[in-house]
Copies of this chain bind each other. A is one copy, B any other.
Amino acid sequence: MIIQKSDNPRIGSFDPENYSFGDHFIDHMIICEYENGQWGEPKLMPYGPLPFSPANMAFNYGQACFEGMKAYKDKNGDVFLFRPEKNFERINKSATRLAMPEVPEEAFMQGLKVLIDADRDWVPHGEGKSLYIRPLIFATEEALKARISTKYMFAIVASPAKSYYSAPVSVKISDYYSRASSGGVGFAKAAGNYAASFYPTKLANEEGYEQIIWTDDATHENFEESGTMNVFVRINDTIYTPATSDKILDGVTRDSFIQLAKKRGIEVVVGDVKVKDVIAAHERGELKEVWGVGTAVVTSVFEAIGYKDKKYDLPKLSAEESYALTLQRDLVAIQTNNAEDPFGWRVLVEKNILETV
């Protein structure tokens, strides 16, 4: 790995008690470039802009995918990643579906560890705080040809993240717009999937909803995802979540919630979640909770769901009654090294890795 440390680190001006998420970046980034059919040597370098023409193929033909993951600092100052091998597997599934080359394990896993170790002072400690990490791959060939690019960049950038807390939101069940097609790229963290979701979300915002529950594009009868998260429904004391497919992201938080629920003896049913069954359960008073899960906020609790012209309020459960919040606590405790990790999910970021690469 090529190491080029920043001559002008900004860490001195970073206030871990006062920052906003997503637009402040740590001092370094990882870059690895692909051309002539192979990946070059990964490089740690100062975070910042690189030269790209407007004819860059990523801007024109959208070959781009990413991962979202976090690093957590415990009370001893040790830094941990959470199930990074899942993100490594998934970025390459996304890459394959977008006809991009798979990124090598060394660039991804060692890149992560070298970057986080070099900038470990940027990982905030405290309730809900973490370092949000963004690995991504995008096309970099400069050509106006609608075909597979011959050049790519793999990059890892990161930004300190704030509290998990997010206020309960109202979500609208989509009966017109969709985010994925059968035989499409919905399961991939493809850049274009996000762009496609913004306009329908804006329309839902204008109707007073924060997010959309996406349904299948053919019938709009089945739940798929919620916003940019996987979705869970609790009817009585059973949790339901859609099975992964070529339309549904195989979320790391989703998988962790399923395992944590089973560990607690909560029944989890993975399969079709039908809009009519959810509405019927509400009418019987059996719909207890609906929530989204994802890396960014872990859990987004829904206080109401809209369908057609009706808004269905959900019960307000205490933090103890709520499966969503209980499983969130279980997950965060493992992520932040405040609980045993029977699953082997935590990965320690060793110190002074730089000296060994």
Q: Which residues of A contact B (CB under 8 A)?
A: 21-23, 25, 29, 31, 47-55, 58-64, 66, 96-99, 132, 134, 136, 138-139, 142-148, 153, 155, 157, 159, 174, 176-185, 190-196, 198-200, 202, 217-218, 228, 296
Q: A296 contacts which chain B residues (CB < 8 A)?
A: 146
Given contacts A144-B157, A217-B182, contact A96 B191 (CB under 8 A): no
Q: A25 contacts which chain B residues (CB < 8 A)?
A: 53, 55, 142
A22, A47, A54, A202 — most chain B CB neighbours (10 Å): A54
Interface pair B21/A145, CB less than 8 Å apart: yes
Q: A178 contacts which chain B residues (CB < 8 A)?
A: 181-184
Distance between Cα atoms of A155 and B56 in the complex (Å): 12
Which residue of the partner chain, among B49, B66, B153, B176, contacts A183 with CB atoms under 8 Å? B176
Interface pair B54/A64, CB less than 8 Å apart: no
Other contacts beyond A22-B145, A192-B192: 18, CB < 8 A:
A21-B144, A21-B145, A23-B142, A54-B153, A54-B155, A61-B195, A62-B64, A62-B191, A96-B199, A98-B196, A98-B198, A99-B198, A146-B194, A178-B183, A178-B184, A183-B217, A184-B196, A217-B217
Interface pair A54/B62, CB less than 8 Å apart: no
Q: Name which residue of chain B comes closest to A198, CB basis.
A: B99
Q: A47 contacts which chain B residues (CB < 8 A)?
A: 53
